Chain A
């Protein structure tokens, strides 16, 4: 018992090197996870800031306010890329790299050096991406070489994220403690496996297309139509249904937090795992891809429309099913007054994220259904289909600012003690929840209504400056006011992100937060058995895990013993 056996995974590092060189060369899953999480939150701040600039321009029906046509297209693209490729996916990878080994009783990730490589490839590519835009590259950019560089940068980002996804998938599948089966793993680890698997089969589709786009753009521009032809062929990555895939971890986070707060287990675990898996399947959006299904046509009709409506319907059912399952546990606890759940920031944010997820799926269902049925002659008689209007911007806001950001808020507050050894300030956290939820609501409701009532276009691919021209036509319809409402919401979201960073800085960096105990939330999953944060080498101590809820097992056994 005194000796500790080591293997390839745990032998890589046994002590933390606090110097920058130590961080640069680390292969410890906890450090790589922290690097991903903090970098992604900083990128989020940048992404929301860019979105604010884009939305300022949408408030004018007569002309651009701060940008010109090309710059608008560039920043529009950059805001989407930042929010998805630099925030949503990497922050999920960060949490997964930190938590999955702890939750499944593994000593480290399956390929720790590959995990570190994933982060550095991603970070360097992010720098190249920003560099390409600064030099007037990117979609709609004026510098041809830097437009090419932008494609290389996006390729680099995708490769980095893919390596991370493969590492997490392989870890979750092969590194579980011998007694821990897939149907007993904690919900977050299951959601991480589902997301990683679906990322592995969807992100490379973009990679394959980028190769073609790069070659055509660099050599002759035979069919691409210059810089204007790029964005419409790659923007499926930033729209629903693909956006649902990035929300799968939110379901895992919400399940963990709500069940732990209710101090119960879900009454039908398989249904919970099934719902999470189902949302992952419906989140596979590579098929709904202009470059493959829709070259030369803007309107989804026929079989494609049916599939899209069915997918949104399925996603809606999956989300509703899971929320009903975990919500039932919470209601049961409240009704039986067994132990009144503590209203934490994490619980509030989890429930809020669930509500936004449901809204996003519902709006997708309504939008696709209306377009398919062509209600109100949409698609005919000159009316834009909903999927070509700011209805889509509203859906993106719901999924990214609502579900995604609230999910992150819940996860950061819940796992901060385990990751950094400090609890975040709860009062600031609850204020943060209100700010983000309110901001996300306004940021989405403005574009939703504008798309529905005024046909304000989401984006005009061929020439972004058309956005202002089109807005001019609908000047009197209220599009400007509704865009301003969306802008106000985005500004509030921006302040919410700043508040989150401030809370992290004060509580963690300045060490003003409460020093965490091993299990400050009475959690259920195995990571709460370890110290906060787990010491180097301690991870190998969960090798005999046979349950995904060991702490709940203990509590129930104690309760049973005291009752009789």
Chain B
């Protein structure tokens, strides 16, 4: 009997990359949230009639250069985020911190540019179907960017606190993973709402 009893010994609980996996789940959830909103947007767009030429586009002025620059800024921040992760894995803290700070500055710049672009469009919430849908879908993606920035900032602080190296950088890697997703989510939203309209 004793030989067959499973050993009941204490030990280190195994939680390899739990944060990374949880971030993966969160990304899946956020992706479906954006998909749900964009799905509804597209259904309404389809129901609005012939497109382009649909009524809801009347008077719409999309400042394409501003949106393009915002997108480029976001893509640049992806590069700097990966730079931060690369440096953190090599315990190159000076570069890691510089890259994290650059990423956050670029992220804030992106948010600023998008808000500026929306102001230039002179969309008034509640004035029509497109403005309401555009505000909702853009706001959702922009909220994800802000969440990504906070996540990057917090994990950056952990990195500053010494969480570096191959395994120690997993939290920062998770935040960078989320940031990559945020960039993709914004790109899809921007293409659907401001390019295809």
Contacts and interface: CB of A to CB of B under 8 A. Distances in A.
B126 to A, nearest CB: 3
A170 B18 contact: yes
A254 interface: no
A contacts with B: majority SS: helix
Contact of B9 (A1, A293, A553): A1
Contact of A222 (B7, B12, B128): B128
Interface in B27-48: 28-44, 46-47
Contact of B6 (A9, A215, A550): A550
Contact of A110 (B1, B6, B22, B35): B22
Contact of A212 (B6, B10, B40, B128): B40
A390 interface: no
B136 interface: yes
Nearest to A7: B13
A392 B128 CA distance: 35
A175 B18 contact: yes
Most buried by B among A9, A106, A211: A211
Given A111-B18, A544-B11, A200 B25 contact: yes
A98 B12 CA distance: 20
A9 B29 contact: no
B139 interface: yes
Contacts of A542: 6, 8
B13 A200 contact: no
A207 B35 CA distance: 10
Contacts of A197: 25, 28
Contacts of B44: 223, 295
B42 to A, nearest CB: 8
B181 to A, nearest CB: 13
A394 B1 CA distance: 52
Contact of B17 (A174, A547, A557, A558): A174
Nearest to B27: A200
Interface in A507-564: 526, 529, 540-547, 550, 553-554, 557-558
* Binding site secondary structure of chain B: helix
A541 B18 contact: no
B29 A177 contact: no
A47 interface: no
Given A110-B18, A175-B15, A204 B30 contact: yes
Contacts of A170: 18, 21-22, 25
Nearest to A106: B13
B14 interface: yes
A67 to B, nearest CB: 30
Contacts of A554: 1, 4-6
Nearest to B26: A166
A177 B36 contact: no
B27 to A, nearest CB: 10
B75 interface: no
Contact of B37 (A177, A209, A220): A209
Contacts of B93: none
B184 to A, nearest CB: 16
Contacts of B38: 208
Given A215-B135, A219-B132, A529-B6, A174 B15 contact: yes
> Which interface residue of B9, B17, B25, B135 has the most chain A CB atoms within 10 A?
B25
Interface residues of A, number: 69
Interface string A181-221: 00000000000000011001111111111011011100110
Interface residues of B, number: 51
A5 B12 contact: yes
Contacts of A398: none
A493 B107 CA distance: 54
Contacts of A543: 9-14
Contact of A292 (B6, B10, B33, B39): B39
A317 interface: no
B1 A558 contact: yes
B13 A215 contact: no
Contact of A200 (B10, B29, B39, B140): B29
B94 to A, nearest CB: 28
A202 B129 CA distance: 26
Contacts of B22: 110-111, 166-167, 169-170
A286 B127 contact: no
B159 interface: no
A204 B29 contact: yes
A202 B44 CA distance: 21
Nearest to B14: A178
A295 B18 contact: no
B137 interface: yes
Contacts of B13: 7, 9-10, 106-108, 175, 540, 543
B16 interface: yes
Contacts of B183: none
A415 B125 CA distance: 52
B149 interface: no
Contacts of A558: 1, 4
Interface string A208-248: 11011011100110110000000001000000000000000
Contacts of B6: 526, 529, 542, 544-547, 550, 553-554
A176 B18 CA distance: 11
A441 B37 CA distance: 38
A382 interface: no
A162 B7 CA distance: 35
A527 to B, nearest CB: 12
A320 interface: no
Interface string B118-136: 0000000111110011011
Given A201-B28, A542-B8, A543-B13, A222 B39 contact: no
Nearest to A4: B10
A201 B29 contact: yes
Contacts of A207: 33, 36
27 contacts: A166-B25, A169-B22, A169-B25, A174-B15, A197-B28, A200-B25, A200-B32, A204-B29, A204-B32, A205-B36, A205-B39, A206-B36, A207-B33, A208-B34, A208-B35, A208-B38, A211-B37, A211-B139, A212-B133, A215-B132, A216-B136, A219-B135, A220-B126, A292-B43, A529-B6, A553-B6, A554-B5
Given A209-B40, A223-B44, 7 more contacts: A7-B13, A9-B15, A204-B29, A209-B36, A223-B132, A547-B6, A554-B1
The 8 closest A-B pairs by CB, nearest first: A208-B36, A220-B126, A219-B126, A205-B36, A208-B37, A204-B33, A170-B22, A292-B39
Interface of A: 1, 3-5, 7, 9-10, 106-108, 110-111, 162, 165-167, 169-171, 173-178, 196-197, 200-209, 211-212, 214-216, 219-220, 222-223, 233, 286, 289, 291-293, 295-296, 526, 529, 540-547, 550, 553-554, 557-558
